Amino acid sequence: MSIVKSVSGNPAPAAAVVSAPVAGHLADARALLDVAAEALDLDPELHELLTRPERSLTVNLPVVMDDGRLEMFTGFRVQHCGARGPFKGGIRYHPSVSLEETVALAMVMTWKCAVVDLPFGGAKGGVRCDPRRLSRTELERLTRRYTLAIHPLIGPQRDVPAPDVNTDARTMAWMMDTLSTIEGASALASVTGKPVGLGGSLGRASATGDGIAIVALELLREAGRRPEATSVAVQGFGKVGRAAAHAFARAGCRVVAVADVSGGVHRAEGLDLADLERYLAEAPNGLLAGYTAPGAEAISNETLLELPVDLLVPAALEGQINGENADRVRAWAVVEGANGPLTREADAILARRGITVVPDILANAGGVVVSHLEWVQDRQGLFWDEQRVDEALHHRMTKAFADVSAVARERNVTLREAAAILAVGRVAEAIRLRGIYP
């Protein structure tokens, strides 16, 4: 009998029913592949190959809890396509984690690595759990058990995990230590996103948020807009949204609204991010709820998405902008900080309304770019200063934006379609060059 707990804490079957947003995310991922395949006149058999992951692993994880109980958790690791190199993708801990969601995210990772031209394929993993209900020691035991279970699939030349939703550098340190213990040798290059003292890269913690700002600023430059005249709203003030907000502020943009799971705050003249950080450092739960400042008003996440701003950055979870609220979005451009924050229906509505969308596979690829740099540094045993990492990130992200923008102009398609065409074309070419064995 399964004793995996749901969000409410009540027992739920290990094979929980997939929610509509998750199932929709997989459908959206496949629909984007269909668009690219049609534009590229992709061979139907190759198209069919790319609709399916190469490998999907489901693991059942017995974990001894602090009170001595044995509790079962379910985890997944999906490898979509390794034609361009070792698989790469994050590990998330969340109650909504499912096989279908993980398949969709692994497919998206394949395109993401290809659009920024990294020598990686796409993978994703996760454990269905509510990390807020687990102690530090329970999280460590869960992580080590999950690492042991997926160990046959991962390694520096096979599959290199990284942090994702509700996982961080500490999680990666546990994974790396477990792999090193199992193998009897250092496994620094087996995971990325580690603490700097354990082979992590300088600049990795803020890389996804920094990359979001880099491509958004390229969009502004291309449109002849000045950062100083740009207002920004960020939904999701976690590690990604937070870093993005600070990067926008450093560039001269006016960050007027931010929100997290507890709600948001809006100030038309711009928020004092340093003051916000001081508040969050002292807040018992580290959330925005209760923050006050002159001229600032509390708002909901839903309200933030409908503010009249230049740049809207949804950096929370999937499906935040959908068919129900897309008509109320008033931003000049949406820059996808999260994976799949717009549904396919919402994407079509925004396109009809002339609202530019910078897709997730381009906008939030900064994390995997610096993960690649970390992997390279670990494998060669030579580490770089932060300036070199930042320069490499900036070069890779601006080049990727220029490549996608050029395809969009040449084919008269949206940036999302252009990114998919570019990415799928690169993956398909790698498969053609390698051939099918045997």
Point out the residues that are catalytic: 124
Return d(Cα 158, Cα 275) in angstroms, integer: 44
What angle do helix axes 136-150 and 169-183 make, rounded to 10 degrees? 50
**Residues 154 and 192 sit within 8 Å (Cβ to Cβ):** no
CA distance to 223, 321, 392, per residue, from 406 (Å): 14, 27, 21
**Residues 96 and 168 sit within 8 Å (Cβ to Cβ):** no
- In 3D space, the residue among 362, 427, 430, 368 whose CA is nearest the CA of residue 400 turns out to be 362
| Beta strand extents in 119-209 (DSSP E only) | 121-128, 159-163
Return d(Cα 109, Cα 87) in angstroms, integer: 9
Strands 87-94 and 159-163: parallel
Structure tokens at 432: 């053609």
CA 182 to chain centre: 29
Indicate the length of the chain as a whole number.
438
Structure tokens at 4: 């995996």
**Residues 258 and 299 sit within 8 Å (Cβ to Cβ):** no
SS3 259: strand
Q: Which residue has the tokens 């993708």?
A: 89
- In 3D space, the residue among 101, 106, 104 whose CA is nearest the CA of residue 122 turns out to be 106
CA 10 to chain centre: 29
Q: Would you call 4 exposed, middle or buried from its count of C-beta atoms within 10 A (0-12, 13-18, 19+)?
A: buried
Structure tokens at 178: 């477990």
Whether the ω angle into residue 308 lies within 30 degrees of 0, i.e. cis, is no
CA 426 to chain centre: 21
